[in-house]
Chain A
Amino acid sequence: MKKIKRNPEIVWRIEIEEEELLKRAGNGEDVSEDAVITLVIADMVHQLNYVASKIWMLSDGTMGEDEIVSKILENFETDEKTLKEDINFFLSRLLKEGWLIYDENKNT
């Protein structure tokens, strides 16, 4: 399977470190829709929530689509089928937009 990586042309930054986010979540705060990562693409600002940010961070060229999905599923106690569909949808959308790309040099 082809590995997925972030498009190196895209400028992005982390707004909230995972440790801080998890600490706040541990205190009962709903952090599921906090903007964790900001991307700037063609003068447009996009923000990613926690799950989307996890996918973004995992897309470092070491994993394929299925591996990313499995990794995310390990971390979330929720309906597996729905989450899997959401992750696949998100990945395919970002691949279509070119924000994520297949690393042609790396295959499983």
Chain B
Amino acid sequence: MMKTKIPNTPLLVNWSLSVHCNFNCKHCYSRLEKYSELSTEENKEIVKKLVAAKIYFANFGGGEPFLKKDIFDIALFARENGLHISVSTNGFLVDEEIVKKVKESRISKVEISLDSAREEEHDNFRNKKGSFRKAVTAIELLKKNNIDVAVSSVISKINYKNFSELIDLVRKLGVKKVTFHNYKCSGSGFINRDELDLTPQEWMEFYKNILIKKKEVSDIIVSLDDPVICLLKEFGGREKTIVPGSSCGKLSLAIKPNGDVTPCGFMPVSIGNILKEDISDLWKNSPVLLKLRNKEAKGKCVSCESYEECLGGCSARAYAMSGDFNQPDPHCWKEDDVKNPA
């Protein structure tokens, strides 16, 4: 059994170049954030710092990355220096010209947000009429040009019962991977959580159903990124990971548009600024990251037999709801054994 060890530096950074967006999604974690943006040269400086720290993967998120005018310049510079760039986008701006630039700047993968196979559901969730059509067209265009495409879907009240239809659509579009993201209570997602977030029981049902479906699907990678899934061992449990709990601050970090570094995009806690500080030093010595890697079980986690694997679930969600990332993930459906002995 390989010893679990935090890598020397992150394997991936989720990098928001801008929080500007052409959408106004109800669940958006970044829309309410305000940051000054860096110049092209400053962003290239970040690329150099990442590569010097042997970090070879970055994902441009946002905001909508394709609104950022110098994205392709930064992406090409990154690739030429050994940093592989992927982009998470709503797909609305993707046309022949953007696709050409994606190819020219050697962006390795584009992940398109698609939350439902039902046009109205997707448009309603994304708060943008026509967004479903545009997302599907973007996928078709990227596929036609041999660009690696994946689908990214945020689970909410709107779509959690219809995931099978989305998997079918993904298959029909010829996409090989779909990731179902758990709902994060950050930014607008926090404000709209009562309307959109599932109850713990609904999360359990959703994960049970999708784990059953996942076993049946062999031609598409169905990816789930939620540590609480390890409670469902009888349904296959969580996919094999090299670190227990959430990967934020253990395998990955996030960079904000002004260069601030946070454990993940959904946790608005700056641990420093990459332009002013050494990323390897932040990674090794940040008190916040050290605490995230050495969580202390609280509440019902104390008596939970899955804690070693789950580590209290999503730290960002616990932090958003309680101000303490050691608290149990609010999505966890497990009964408190101490309060409710079997």
Contacts and interface: CB of A to CB of B under 8 A. Distances in A.
18 contacts: A11-B56, A11-B57, A11-B84, A13-B56, A33-B1, A33-B2, A33-B3, A34-B2, A34-B5, A35-B3, A35-B7, A40-B11, A40-B56, A40-B57, A43-B223, A45-B241, A45-B242, A49-B2
B54 interface: yes
Contacts of B5: 15, 34-35
B8 interface: yes
Contacts of A43: 177, 223
A35 B84 contact: no
Given A11-B57, A45-B241, 5 more contacts: A15-B5, A35-B7, A38-B7, A45-B11, A49-B2
Main secondary structure of the interface of B (DSSP, over half): loop
A13 B54 contact: yes
Contact of B242 (A13, A34, A47): A47
A47 B242 CA distance: 8
A77 B310 CA distance: 39
Interface size class on chain B is 10 to 19
B251 interface: yes
Interface in B1-42: 1-3, 5, 7-8, 11
Interface of A: 11, 13, 15, 33-35, 38, 40, 43, 45, 47, 49
Contacts of A34: 2-3, 5
A53 to B, nearest CB: 11
Interface in B200-238: 223
Nearest to B179: A43
Contacts of B56: 11, 13, 40
Nearest to A46: B242
A106 B95 CA distance: 44
B179 to A, nearest CB: 9
Contacts of B3: 33-35
B278 to A, nearest CB: 18
Nearest to B148: A42
A11 B241 CA distance: 18
A42 to B, nearest CB: 8
B7 A15 contact: yes
Nearest to B56: A11
Contacts of A38: 7, 11
Contacts of A11: 56-57, 84
B2 A47 contact: yes
A11 B177 CA distance: 20
Contacts of A47: 2, 242
Nearest to A32: B3
Contacts of B11: 38, 40, 45
A32 B334 CA distance: 37
A43 B223 CA distance: 11
A51 to B, nearest CB: 12
Interface in B141-157: none
A35 B2 contact: yes
Nearest to A11: B56
B164 to A, nearest CB: 23
A8 to B, nearest CB: 13
B163 to A, nearest CB: 20
A11 B83 CA distance: 10
Contacts of A35: 2-3, 5, 7, 242
A13 B241 CA distance: 18
Interface in B247-262: 251
Quick one: which of B1, B2, B223, B242 has the most chain A CB within 10 A? Answer: B2
A33 to B, nearest CB: 5
A13 B84 CA distance: 14
Nearest to B177: A43
Nearest to B82: A11
A43 B11 CA distance: 10
A38 B10 CA distance: 11
